[in-house]
Structure 1
Amino acid sequence: MSTEGITVKLAPSLHRLGNDIVACYMLDLPDGITLIDAGLPGHWNDLLRELDAVGRPLADVRGLVLTHGDSDHIGFAERLRRETGVPIFIHAADAHRARTSEKPKTAMGPLRLGPTLGFLAYGLRKNAVRTRHVEELVEIDDGHALDLPGAPRIVGLPGHSPGSIAVHVPAVDAVFVGDALTTRHVLTGHTGAQLAPFTDDRAGALASIDQLSQVSASWVLPGHGAPWHGSPVDIAAAIREP
């Protein structure tokens, strides 16, 4: 997958907004639209273009599920909530982070200048500095099945953050993992299945991969990096490879 694409239709009803640097997702289902993550503020325009491309109005969006509360995942969430009243769902353990951007300092780890500058430049192009906190959230917990198009089910994957989750949507044969894992390290450019940088608790994140491997899906979709067209079992094994 190109790192420069704006939108990609991965399968019927399954759309990726953004690119391999930062991505979020739109599920176009007969009973409405479900969004997974909100990327950066500039992805709002990508959302509107994709809705127009599939002939759906913004009013067809029924809900937005956040995989966690970091700023590069909540981008247009508050704008969506204010303009449409759409509920914004997040695990209770990450609600404070989405409301305030407060998070513990974590070691940056390895980086390379080119990929790091590319990540920062993309953030500037997509108005990352204008990210607004989400003022009203619907708090959810592990195992919840949400009353949204596709009936998304919440799978707790703590580690990257306390409330990091996967969102399993059998209707599109996909599991959305946020930053529980990545297929492209935004600071080094290294591709392939791995834990994401800026992870609060790496040991906890690695342990959560075992929980992910129990999910049945043909797509594993991270917030950074190319979509993984394969099973969660396979990507979990790839992360654990020495």
Structure 2
Amino acid sequence: MELAPSLRRIGSDIVSAYLVDSPDGVTVIDAGLPGHWRDLVAELRAMGRSLDDVRGVVLTHGDSDHVGFAERLRREHGVPVYVHAADAERAKGGKKPSGAKQRMRLGALLGFVTYSLRKGGARPVWLREVVEVHDGDVLDLPGEPHVIGMPGHSPGSIAVWVPAVDAVFVGDGLTTRHVLTGDVGPAPAPFTDEPAQAITSLRALLPTGATWVLPGHGAPYRDGVAAAVAAVEAAAR
């Protein structure tokens, strides 16, 4: 789905990933679930592109519903996969904290589980190799993605700011559709390791001034990063 010139989304409001298109190729931000592979191929075709045009995958963190097809791209097409050093082992299938008890509604939970199963979520494909990145890095990829450290959801959670498309990709730094309750609008994401730290980390997004705030779960938000951060902070209170 085209959001704006050079900016695309694949997946749905339940789980999504993004593509940045530029003259020198395509950067993929997050990789959803394994079954999003077909969505990726179809979207690239609609853009007049192919898998050979993908120059890199940048993961906002290492959870299973974000690593998706990344290893397949790496293994079959030689595409490097970038992840923060603190989440490198997580992206390779390392253990994560069990976390606090989550608030949920049965209908939303069933919808999330059903969608995840349909897209291969029961059998995650973990990374075998990654390129480690750090807060402040600017990657040599189409769109020149900027890495913004966002610890909290996981130790190595990042946001990816791409000035060329006026967008910041936040992974699970926040959500606009809570996968366990179905609530919509900017809010803290579930399954967060350190909820208070995750809220504090949101302030690192403000200097971008980005119009688009693009989460891994929920509808794209286009009222600006300041409004998104304020809404999440209010919801957390």
TM-score (norm 1): 0.95
Q: Is 1:106 aligned to residue 99 of structure 2?
A: yes
**Displacement of 1:189:** 0.3
Q: SS at the partner of 2:39?
A: helix
Mean CA deviation greater in 147-156 or 51-60: 51-60
The aligned residue for residue 178 of structure 2 is 185
Report matched runs for 1:207-218 at 5 Å: 207-218=200-211
In structure 2, C-alpha distance between the alignment counterparts of 1:107 and 1:152, rounded to whole Å:
32
Q: Is 1:140 aligned to residue 145 of structure 2?
A: no
Q: SS at the partner of 1:128?
A: coil
Q: SS at the partner of 1:100?
A: coil
The aligned residue for residue 24 of structure 2 is 31
**Displacement of 1:54:** 1.2
In structure 1, C-alpha distance between the alignment counterparts of 2:116 and 2:217, rounded to whole Å:
13
Q: Is 1:175 aligned to residue 168 of structure 2?
A: yes
Deviations 1:92-123 (A, max 9, x none): 00001001241011023210000000000000
Report matched runs for 1:56-71 at 5 Å: 56-71=49-64
In structure 2, C-alpha distance between the alignment counterparts of 1:115 and 1:184, rounded to whole Å:
10
The aligned residue for residue 46 of structure 2 is 53
**Displacement of 1:214:** 2.1
Are the counterparts in 2 of residues 69 and 101 from structure 1 also a CA contact under 8 Å? no
Report matched runs for 1:1-242 at 5 Å: 8-241=1-234, 242=237
Are the counterparts in 2 of residues 174 and 217 from structure 1 also a CA contact under 8 Å? yes
> Is the alpha carbon distance of 1:108 and 1:24 closer, same or farther for their aligned partners in structure 2, counting shifts above 3 Å?
farther
In structure 2, C-alpha distance between the alignment counterparts of 1:101 and 1:180, rounded to whole Å:
20
Mean CA deviation greater in 37-46 or 206-215: 206-215
**Could you tell me which amino acid in structure 2 is paired with residue 102 of structure 1?**
K
Are the counterparts in 2 of residues 108 and 197 from structure 1 also a CA contact under 8 Å? no
Q: How many residues align?
A: 235
Are the counterparts in 2 of residues 101 and 133 from structure 1 also a CA contact under 8 Å? no
**Displacement of 1:129:** 1.6
Deviations 1:118-139 (A, max 9, x none): 0000001101122111000000
**Could you tell me which amino acid in structure 1 is paired with residue 199 of structure 2?**
L
In structure 2, C-alpha distance between the alignment counterparts of 1:170 and 1:212, rounded to whole Å:
12
Gaps of 5+ in 1: 1-7
State the identity %. Answer: 61
Gaps of 5+ in 2: none
Q: SS at the partner of 1:240?
A: helix
In structure 2, C-alpha distance between the alignment counterparts of 1:45 and 1:198, rounded to whole Å:
27
**Could you tell me which amino acid in structure 2 is paired with residue 74 of structure 1?**
V
**Could you tell me which amino acid in structure 2 is paired with residue 112 of structure 1?**
R
**Displacement of 1:239:** 1.2
In structure 2, C-alpha distance between the alignment counterparts of 1:129 and 1:109, rounded to whole Å:
20
**Displacement of 1:209:** 1.0
TM-score (norm 2): 0.97
In structure 1, C-alpha distance between the alignment counterparts of 2:109 and 2:93, rounded to whole Å:
25
Are the counterparts in 2 of residues 70 and 101 from structure 1 also a CA contact under 8 Å? no
In structure 2, C-alpha distance between the alignment counterparts of 1:101 and 1:112, rounded to whole Å:
29
Are the counterparts in 2 of residues 39 and 72 from structure 1 also a CA contact under 8 Å? yes
